[in-house]
C-alpha cells in the first residue's frame, strides 16, 4: 500500500504542473494574470507550479525533514489554487467560470499532500547535518549575493503587484515556501553562512541600501515609502528593547515618539508655533531624545517597582494623557491642529529639501531624508545589538525570564528595568524628532493608542528581541495595508486576530531570536519554562 | 451646596457602573493574575446584545419596559458570558503556562478583534451590518425624576445604583458562604494546593470568568439605559476606568472593587466640575488617580501587599 504512494504523488506533481500550464478560467473577464491562456504559468499559476515541483522533488530526494517540508509545499499549492478557484468563481459568476486547469491543479496538489502525509514516517537520515555543511568560500559568497538579491527581488515584486487576489496568492506563496524551506533547515544553514561572512553580508546590505536612491531616476515615491518605513522601524527597534529584551509591556510607546516630535517641531523653527527658536538639528535631536527619556524615567520609576502588569496599564494611561494634553494645551502645542510648517533640515549650507546632483545623478529632496533615516536606523541597530550582547542585555533577558532569580543573582532589577524603559524612550524620542521634519508637522492625531498597538504588532509579529524581526514586521505592517485595499476596512480585525494566533502558535515571531526559540520549542526548554511560569 | 450634593449623586451613579465592571477584573486577576484587557469589550458586547434583543421584540413588549427589561438583561448576560467563555477557552487557557507577556498581548488582540467584530458585523435593525456610528438605546425605566431637596435623580439612575448594590451584595454572599465560593477563594490563594485538595481549578476559573462577564453584561445594559446610546468604543475607556477602580480598591478584593468604583466615579465628576477646564480632561483623571495610587499605596484602599507578588 505504502509503496504505491510515491508514484501516486509523482503523478500528482505532474498533474499539478500540467494544471498550472493550462487555463484556470473558461472565459475572459479581466481576472488578473491572463488565466485564460495556456502554455505558460501566468498570474498566480506560477506559485502552485513551483510548490508542486518542490514537493515532487522531495518525494525523490531523501533529506532530513522532507516529509513535513513536502507536505507544507503541497498544502501551499492546494491553498493558493483553491483560493484562486474560489475568487474566479466569485468574479466570473459561478463554478462554470473555473476551468479544467484549476481542477487539475487542485487534484494534483491534493494527491501530493496525501502522498507526503501518509508516506514514510521519517526520512532515513535521523539527524540533519545540513546546517554544518561548508561550501568553498567563493560559492558561499555567491550564495550570500544571491539570497540578498532574492530578498530585494521579493520586496520589489511585492511592491509592484497591484491586484489584491494576486498579492494574497504571492504572500501565501512566500509563507508556505518559507515554511517548507525551514523544515529542511535551509534557513539555519543560510544563517551559518551569513555568520561565517558577517562583514561581507553587512557590507553588501549597506551598499545596496546606499545605492538604492541612485536607481530611482529622480523619482521620490519609493524613497518616501522607505523613509517612512525607516522611521517606523527605528521606533520598533526601540520598543523591542523594552518588550523583546526586558519583557516589559509598553502600551503607550507612541507617546515618547510624540514627545520627540513636538520637541523637534517647537525647537526646530517651525513656521506655525508661538515660539521662535532656531536651534541646530543635531542638538534638537539630542534634546528631543533626552526629554523623551526623562518622561520614560518619570513614568517608569513609580511603576517598575510593582508587578509588570501594572506597567502596561500605566503606560497606556500615559499615552492617553499625552494625546489629550497635546490636544488641550493650546499655548504649547497649538491644540488639535498641531504644529505645522516644520522646515526642511539644514546642516551648515546643505539644505535637505533641495534636489542635488551627485556623480551626475539627480537625487530628489527626499533622497536626503532617506539617508537621514538610514543613518538613524544604523545608529539604532548598532545600539540595540551592542546592548543585547552586553552585560546589560543579559541582565534584561534574565529579568524577562525570571525576575526573582535575576534579583537573587545580584541584578538590580528596578534599575535595569528603568534603564531599558529610558533607553526605549530615548530611541523613540530621536525617531520622533527626525519624523517631525520628514512629516513637516506634529499633531495629536498621529499619536493614538492604535499607533502604539501597530508598533507593538510590528515587534510581536516580526520576532521579539531581534533586529531583522523588527525590520520585517515594520515593513510588512507598512506595505500590507497599502496592498490589501480590498481588506482596508477589516485591517484592524486582522491585526487583532494575528496577535492572538501569533501568541498561540508562534510566540517567538517570524524571525525568532535563537535563544528564545530554543526556550520555546526544545523539549527540555519547554519543561523548564513551564515550571518557571507556574505561580 | 446643592450643586455639590448633586455632583456627589452623579458620581455615585457613575461609580456604580465602574464598580460592576471592576468586579470582573478583580476576580479574574485574583485567580489567575491576568489583566483581562478584553473585559471592557465584554461589557460592550453585553450592551449590544441587549439592544439586539430589544429591537426585535414585538411592539407590545417594547412599550412595556417592565416586561422588556428582564429579556434585555437576560440576553445581554447570555451573550456576554458566552463570549467571555469562548475567549477564555480559545485564547487564554492554551497560554496558562506561557510567559507573562503572552496572555497580555493576546488580551489586547482579543479586545481589538471584539471591537472590530461589532463595528463591522453587528446586525442593525434595518438589516445593515456594522455599528460604525453610535446607535440609540431605549431608556426602559421612565418616569419623572425624584427630587430630594433640590437634588434631582433620574429614575433610571436610582435603578442602576439599586441593581449594582444588590448584585455586589449577592456576589459577596456567594463567595463567602457557598461551597463554590470557598473553592474560588482557595484557588485564588494557591492554585496548586487547591488542586491537590480536589478542587477542579479549571472549572473554578471558568466560573470566575462567567460571573465577571455576567456582571459586565448587566453593566452594559445599565450604561446604555443611562446614556441612551452606545457605540463600539465604550468598552475600551470604561474598561480602563474599571481597572483603575479595581486597583484603587485593592486588586483581588471584591469589596475594594466596589468601593474603588464609587470613589473613582465621585473623583471624576468632582474634578470635571470644580477644576478649571476640567471637562477637557475628563478621561485623564482616572489615570492620574491610578498613578497616584500606585505611587503612594500600591496595595489599594483595602488590598494586601502586591509589590512582592512577582
Q: Which residue of A has its CA nearest to B91?
A: A500
For residue B267, pLDDT over 80 is answered with yes
Predicted confidence at residue B130, as pLDDT, reads: 84
Q: Which residue of B has its CA nearest to A246?
A: B101
Write the pLDDT tens digit of every residue in B269-287. Answer: 998 888 877 777 877 888 8
Residue that wins the pLDDT comparison between A366 and A531: A366
All cell numbers assigned to A204: 553588501
Q: Which of A246, A317, A490 to mutate to test the interface with B (most CBs of B within 10 A)?
A: A317
| Residue of A313, A400, A493 with shortest CB distance to B35 | A313
Tell me whether residues B291 and A302 touch, CB distance under 8 A. Answer: yes
Beta bridge partners of A347: A350
Asked if the C-beta of A499 comes within 8 angstroms of chain B's C-beta atoms, the answer is yes
Predicted confidence at residue A507, as pLDDT, reads: 79
Q: How far apart are CA A347 and CA A351, in angstroms?
A: 7
Task: Quote the percentage of chain A above a pLDDT of 70.
Answer: 83
Q: Which residue of B has its CA nearest to A449?
A: B236
Predicted confidence at residue B19, as pLDDT, reads: 93
Write the pLDDT tens digit of every residue in A303-347. Answer: 887 766 778 888 888 888 888 888 887 777 777 777 776 766 666
Asked if the C-beta of A317 comes within 8 angstroms of chain B's C-beta atoms, the answer is yes
Q: Which of A400, A496, A534 to mutate to test the interface with B (most CBs of B within 10 A)?
A: A496
Sign of CA dihedral B90, B92, B97, B103: positive
- What is the average per-residue pLDDT within B12-29? 91
Longest distance between any two alpha carbons in chain A, whole Å: 84
Tell me whether residues B35 and A309 touch, CB distance under 8 A. Answer: yes
Q: How far apart are CA A429 and CA A285, in angstroms?
A: 8
Predicted confidence at residue B310, as pLDDT, reads: 32
Tell me whether residues A249 and B295 touch, CB distance under 8 A. Answer: no
Asked if the C-beta of A30 comes within 8 angstroms of chain B's C-beta atoms, the answer is no
Count the Cβ atoms, other than its own, within 10 Å of residue A124: 8
Tell me the pLDDT of chain A averaged across its residues. Answer: 79
Q: Which of A253, A299, A307 to mutate to test the interface with B (most CBs of B within 10 A)?
A: A307
Predicted confidence at residue A13, as pLDDT, reads: 86
Q: Give the C-alpha distances (Å, rounded to integers) separating A436 from A261, A284, A451, B143.
A: 5, 11, 16, 55
Predicted confidence at residue A230, as pLDDT, reads: 86
Nearest to B185 by CA among B209, B214, B169, B208: B208
Q: Which of A242, A309, A401 to mutate to test the interface with B (most CBs of B within 10 A)?
A: A309
For residue A125, pLDDT over 60 is answered with no
Predicted confidence at residue A87, as pLDDT, reads: 83
Task: Quote the percentage of chain B above a pLDDT of 70.
Answer: 97
Q: Which residue of A has its CA nearest to B98?
A: A533
**What is the distance in angstroms between the CA of the first residue and the CA of the last residue of chain A?**
51
> Position of cell 521519517?
A122
Residue that wins the pLDDT comparison between A277 and B254: B254
pLDDT band at A534 (very low <50, low <70, confident <90, very high): very low
Sort out which chain B residues have CB atoms less than 8 A from A243's CB and list them: 101
Asked if the C-beta of A335 comes within 8 angstroms of chain B's C-beta atoms, the answer is no
Q: How far apart are CA B33 and CA B268, in angstroms?
A: 27
| Residue of B112, B191, B290 with shortest CB distance to A317 | B290
Count the Cβ atoms, other than its own, within 10 Å of residue A157: 12
Listed by number, the residues of chain A in 377-416 with a beta carbon closer than 8 Å to a beta carbon of chain B are 400-401, 403-404
Whether A399 contacts A247, CB under 8 Å:
yes
Q: Which residue of A has its CA nearest to B193?
A: A535
pLDDT band at B237 (very low <50, low <70, confident <90, very high): confident
Sort out which chain B residues have CB atoms less than 8 A from A477's CB and list them: none
Q: How far apart are CA A439 and CA A431, in angstroms?
A: 12
Residue A302 distance to chain B (closest CA, Å): 5
Write the pLDDT tens digit of every residue in B21-36. Answer: 999 989 998 888 888 8
pLDDT band at A523 (very low <50, low <70, confident <90, very high): very low
Whether B39 contacts B212, CB under 8 Å:
yes
Predicted confidence at residue B126, as pLDDT, reads: 82
Residue B294 distance to chain A (closest CA, Å): 7
Predicted confidence at residue B299, as pLDDT, reads: 78
Tell me the pLDDT of chain B averaged across its residues. Answer: 88
Q: Which of A70-79, A139-148, B13-22, B63-72 has the lowest mean pLDDT?
A: A139-148
Q: How far apart are CA A186 and CA B218, in angstroms?
A: 55
Q: How far apart are CA A84 and CA A164, in angstroms?
A: 11
Q: How far is CA B43 from the centre of its chain?
A: 6
For residue A361, pLDDT over 80 is answered with no
Which contacts of B143-149 are long-range, i.e. CB under 8 A and separated by 24 or more positions?
A: B149/B2
pLDDT band at B308 (very low <50, low <70, confident <90, very high): very low
Tell me whether residues B306 and A306 touch, CB distance under 8 A. Answer: yes
Listed by number, the residues of chain A in 276-315 with a beta carbon closer than 8 Å to a beta carbon of chain B are 302-303, 305-310, 312-314
- Which string of b and e fits A335-349 if b means at least 16 CB within 10 Å? eeebbbebeebbeee
Nearest to A289 by CA among A419, A383, A427: A427
| Residue of A309, A404, A496 with shortest CB distance to B104 | A309
pLDDT band at A362 (very low <50, low <70, confident <90, very high): low
Q: Which residue of B has its CA nearest to A500?
A: B106
Write the pLDDT tens digit of every residue in B147-198. Answer: 888 888 888 899 999 999 999 999 999 998 999 999 999 998 888 899 999 9
Sort out which chain B residues have CB atoms less than 8 A from A320's CB and list them: 240, 283-284, 287
pLDDT band at B81 (very low <50, low <70, confident <90, very high): very high
Q: How far apart are CA A242 and CA A424, in angstroms?
A: 6
Rounded (to 5) percent helix, strand, coil in chain B = 70, 5, 25
Asked if the C-beta of A255 comes within 8 angstroms of chain B's C-beta atoms, the answer is no
**Contacts across the A-B interface (CB distance below 8 Å):** 139
- What is the average per-residue pLDDT within A385-407? 89
Residue that wins the pLDDT comparison between A484 and B19: B19
pLDDT band at A65 (very low <50, low <70, confident <90, very high): confident
Predicted confidence at residue A431, as pLDDT, reads: 92
Tell me whether residues A318 and B104 touch, CB distance under 8 A. Answer: no
- Three-state secondary structure call for residue A361: strand
Q: Which residue of A has its CA nearest to B34?
A: A309
Q: Which residue of A has its CA nearest to B286?
A: A317
Q: How far is CA B243 from the centre of its chain?
A: 9
Predicted confidence at residue A336, as pLDDT, reads: 73
User: What is the predicted ipTM?
Assistant: 0.88
Q: How far apart are CA A445 and CA A442, in angstroms?
A: 9
Sort out which chain A residues have CB atoms less than 8 A from B34's CB and list them: 309
For residue A39, pLDDT over 60 is answered with yes
Sign of CA dihedral A107, A110, A115, A118: negative
All cell numbers assigned to B67: 416586561
For residue B309, pLDDT over 50 is answered with no
Residue A453 distance to chain B (closest CA, Å): 9
Asked if the C-beta of A240 comes within 8 angstroms of chain B's C-beta atoms, the answer is no
Residue that wins the pLDDT comparison between A294 and A491: A294
> Position of cell 519543561?
A527
Phi, psi angle pair for A274, to nearest 5°: -80, -15
- Three-state secondary structure call for residue A348: coil
Write the pLDDT tens digit of every residue in A239-297. Answer: 999 988 888 888 889 999 999 988 888 887 665 555 666 677 788 889 989 999 999 99
Write the pLDDT tens digit of every residue in A108-123. Answer: 888 888 888 877 655 5
Amino acid at each position: 500500500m505504502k509503496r504505491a504512494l510515491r508514484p501516486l504523488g509523482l503523478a500528482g506533481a505532474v498533474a499539478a504542473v500540467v494544471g498550472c500550464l493550462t487555463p484556470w478560467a473558461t472565459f475572459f473577464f479581466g481576472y488578473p494574470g491572463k488565466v485564460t491562456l495556456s502554455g505558460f504559468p501566468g498570474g498566480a499559476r506560477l506559485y502552485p507550479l513551483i510548490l508542486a515541483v518542490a514537493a515532487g522533488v522531495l518525494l525523490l530526494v531523501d533529506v532530513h525533514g522532507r516529509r513535513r517540508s513536502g507536505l507544507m509545499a503541497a498544502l501551499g499549492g492546494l491553498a493558493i489554487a483553491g483560493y484562486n478557484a474560489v475568487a474566479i468563481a466569485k468574479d466570473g459568476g459561478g463554478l462554470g467560470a473555473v476551468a479544467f486547469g484549476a481542477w487539475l491543479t487542485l487534484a494534483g496538489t491534493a494527491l501530493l499532500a496525501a502522498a507526503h502525509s501518509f508516506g514514510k514516517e521519517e526520512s532515513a537520515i535521523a539527524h540533519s547535518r545540513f546546517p554544518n555543511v561548508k561550501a568553498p568560500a567563493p560559492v558561499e559568497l555567491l550564495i550570500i549575493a544571491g539570497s540578498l538579491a532574492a530578498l530585494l527581488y521579493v520586496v520589489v515584486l511585492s511592491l509592484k503587484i497591484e491586484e489584491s487576489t494576486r498579492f494574497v496568492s504571492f504572500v501565501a506563496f512566500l509563507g508556505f515556501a518559507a515554511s517548507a524551506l525551514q523544515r529542511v533547515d535551509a534557513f539555519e544553514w543560510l544563517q551559518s553562512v551569513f555568520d561565517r561572512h558577517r562583514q561581507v553580508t553587512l557590507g553588501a546590505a549597506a551598499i545596496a541600501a546606499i545605492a538604492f536612491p541612485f536607481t530611482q531616476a529622480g523619482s521620490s515615491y519609493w524613497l518616501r515609502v522607505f523613509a517612512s518605513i525607516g522611521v517606523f522601524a527605528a521606533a520598533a527597534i526601540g520598543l523591542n528593547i523594552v518588550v523583546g529584551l526586558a519583557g516589559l509591556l509598553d502600551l503607550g510607546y507612541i507617546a515618547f515618539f510624540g514627545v520627540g516630535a513636538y520637541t523637534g517641531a517647537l525647537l526646530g523653527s517651525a513656521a506655525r508655533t508661538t515660539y521662535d527658536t532656531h536651534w541646530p538639528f543635531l542638538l534638537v535631536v539630542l534634546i528631543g531624545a533626552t526629554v523623551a527619556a526623562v518622561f520614560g524615567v518619570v513614568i517608569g520609576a513609580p511603576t517598575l517597582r510593582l508587578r509588570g502588569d501594572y506597567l502596561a496599564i500605566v503606560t497606556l494611561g500615559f499615552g492617553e494623557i499625552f494625546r489629550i494634553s497635546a490636544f488641550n494645551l493650546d499655548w504649547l502645542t497649538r491644540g488639535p491642529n498641531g504644529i505645522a510648517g516644520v522646515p526642511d533640515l539644514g546642516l551648515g549650507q546643505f539644505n535637505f529639501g533641495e534636489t542635488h546632483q551627485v556623480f551626475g545623478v539627480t537625487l530628489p529632496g527626499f533622497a536626503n531624508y532617506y539617508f537621514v533615516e538610514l543613518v538613524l536606523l544604523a545608529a539604532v541597530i548598532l545600539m540595540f545589538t551592542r546592548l543585547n550582547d552586553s552585560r546589560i542585555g543579559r541582565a534584561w533577558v534574565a529579568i524577562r525570564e525570571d525576575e526573582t532569580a535575576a534579583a537573587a543573582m545580584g541584578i538590580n532589577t528596578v534599575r535595569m528595568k528603568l534603564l531599558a524603559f529610558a533607553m526605549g524612550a530615548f530611541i523613540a524620542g530621536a525617531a520622533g524628532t527626525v519624523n517631525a521634519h520628514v512629516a513637516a508637522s506634529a499633531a495629536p492625531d498621529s499619536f493614538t493608542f492604535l499607533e502604539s498597538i501597530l508598533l507593538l504588532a510590528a515587534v510581536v509579529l516580526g520576532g521579539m528581541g531581534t533586529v531583522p524581526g523588527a525590520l520585517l514586521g515594520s515593513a510588512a505592517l507598512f506595505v500590507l495595508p497599502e496592498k490589501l485595499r480590498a481588506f482596508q476596512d477589516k485591517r484592524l480585525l486582522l491585526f487583532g486576530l494575528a496577535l492572538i494566533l501569533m501568541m498561540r502558535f508562534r510566540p517567538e515571531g517570524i524571525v525568532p531570536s535563537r535563544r528564545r526559540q530554543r526556550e520555546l520549542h526544545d523539549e527540555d526548554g519547554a519543561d523548564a519554562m513551564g515550571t518557571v511560569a507556574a505561580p | 451646596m446643592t450643586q455639590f450634593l448633586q455632583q456627589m449623586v452623579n458620581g455615585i451613579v457613575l461609580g456604580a457602573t465602574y464598580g460592576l465592571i471592576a468586579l470582573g477584573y478583580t476576580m479574574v486577576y485574583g485567580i489567575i493574575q491576568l489583566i483581562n484587557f478584553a473585559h471592557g469589550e465584554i461589557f460592550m458586547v453585553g450592551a449590544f446584545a441587549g439592544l439586539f434583543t430589544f429591537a426585535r421584540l414585538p411592539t407590545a413588549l417594547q412599550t412595556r419596559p417592565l416586561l422588556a427589561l428582564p429579556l434585555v438583561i437576560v440576553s445581554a448576560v447570555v451573550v456576554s458570558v458566552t463570549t467571555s467563555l469562548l475567549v477564555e477557552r480559545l485564547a487564554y487557557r492554551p497560554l496558562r503556562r506561557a510567559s507573562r507577556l503572552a496572555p497580555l498581548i493576546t488580551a489586547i488582540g482579543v479586545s481589538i478583534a471584539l471591537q472590530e467584530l461589532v463595528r463591522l458585523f453587528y446586525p442593525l435593525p434595518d438589516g445593515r451590518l456594522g455599528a460604525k456610528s453610535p446607535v440609540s438605546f431605549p431608556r426602559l425605566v421612565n418616569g419623572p425624576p425624584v427630587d430630594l431637596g433640590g437634588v434631582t435623580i433620574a429614575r433610571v439612575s436610582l435603578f442602576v445604583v439599586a441593581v449594582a448594590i444588590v448584585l455586589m451584595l449577592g456576589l459577596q454572599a456567594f463567595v463567602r458562604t457557598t461551597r463554590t465560593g470557598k473553592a474560588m477563594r482557595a484557588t485564588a490563594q494557591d492554585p496548586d494546593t487547591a488542586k491537590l485538595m480536589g478542587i477542579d481549578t479549571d472549572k473554578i476559573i471558568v466560573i470566575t470568568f462567567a460571573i465577571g462577564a455576567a456582571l459586565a453584561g448587566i453593566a452594559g445594559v445599565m450604561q446604555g439605559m443611562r446614556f441612551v446610546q452606545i457605540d463600539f468604543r465604550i468598552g475600551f475607556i470604561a474598561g480602563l476606568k474599571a481597572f483603575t477602580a479595581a486597583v484603587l480598591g485593592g486588586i483581588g478584593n471584591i469589596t475594594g472593587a466596589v468601593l474603588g468604583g464609587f470613589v473613582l466615579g465621585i473623583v471624576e465628576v468632582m474634578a470635571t466640575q470644580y477644576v478649571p477646564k476640567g471637562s477637557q480632561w475628563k478621561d485623564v483623571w482616572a489615570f492620574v488617580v491610578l498613578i497616584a495610587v500606585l505611587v503612594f499605596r500600591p496595595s489599594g484602599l483595602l488590598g494586601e501587599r502586591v509589590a512582592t507578588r512577582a
